[in-house]
Structure 1
Amino acid sequence: MSLSVQRAMRATDAPSRTQIIQFARAALERDAEITIRIVNEAEGRQLNRDYRHKDYATNVLSFVYETAPVVLGDLVLCAPVVTREALEQDKSAIAHYAHLIVHGVLHLQGYDHENDADAAVMEAREIEIVTGLGFANPYLERSR
């Protein structure tokens, strides 16, 4: 696995490079070359607008270039959105980053959630990986 981590902004609650690699590696099912970039809201919004035609910053964007024989792709995580969502969901930022990195890496390998059957498969895989990393099931609602 070749993994490049880019930090376009300083996010104090973002995972370390070692944690990012751990989260990505846990979700990988084959060899990969991935860049993971942590961005601010302006860059996240611009990328989402330019490539997804949605005019807002989202938590994670996956850019798939190849899925075989080696996975080639980029993940972009918008730090302010991740932090805000973690607070809203009453979970640690690290747990939310772990889930989003796993989610994104699965997308890079061809998983999707466009229909109910595919969503069930992807969600089950995410739960297995995230709980295996020692975090709670990201799909269970937590009471405040």
Structure 2
Amino acid sequence: MGKVYFHSADRKLTVNSKTGIKRAANNIFEEEMMVLNRIDYIFCSDQFLLQINRDFLQHDYFTDIITFDLSDTPGITGEVYISVDRVKENAVVHRTSFLDEVLRVIFHGALHLCGYKDKKTPEQKLMRAREDYYINKFHVEREKLNL
């Protein structure tokens, strides 16, 4: 079982079940048959992530998530930067709960590290289907455990 960590840059993640979310993220790697060494989720503001987008990807626009694969040994090591501001806004726009939108981006980052892409329409559909699968699985497990 790999290590999953949550960090705050300039925003805190405020949700229940952080331990369950970390377990669910770890389970993605197991189910996708990938070895996870470590994944660090860093929660930040729009401005913080915009600067990362500019500095590392030469993109000048807001995004909800940026994933960096830092693997240099067998197994996956990565950093996933998530804009809490963007997640809150996306939850409203997509008419979903804040928790489900948080799960979507957390699982999205894990899926990227497992090799899933999302640049082309078929890739986006597959990515969304896997996100939905893991979100539903999270809720079923949570209900079973009464969390």
2:36 matches 1:35: no
Structure in which a larger fraction of residues adopt helix: 2
Equivalent residues of 1:41, 1:81 under 8 A apart: yes
Equivalent residues of 2:13, 2:43 under 8 A apart: no
Instruction: Find the counterpart in structure 2 of residue 99 from structure 1.
Output: 104
Instruction: Find the counterpart in structure 2 of residue 120 from structure 1.
Output: 125
TM-score by length of 1: 0.80
Instruction: Find the counterpart in structure 2 of residue 86 from structure 1.
Output: 91
TM-score by length of 2: 0.79
- Which sections of structure 2, spanning at least 5 residues, go unmatched? 141-147
CA shift at 1:101, angstroms? 0.8
Instruction: Find the counterpart in structure 2 of residue 46 from structure 1.
Output: 51
Instruction: Find the counterpart in structure 2 of residue 3 from structure 1.
Output: 4
> Which shifted more, 48-57 or 101-110?
48-57
Measured on the aligned residues, the alpha-carbon RMSD in Å equals 2.3
CA shift digits 1:74-101 (9 cap, x unpaired): 1010011111111111111111010111
Number of paired residues?
135
- Percent identity over paired residues: 24
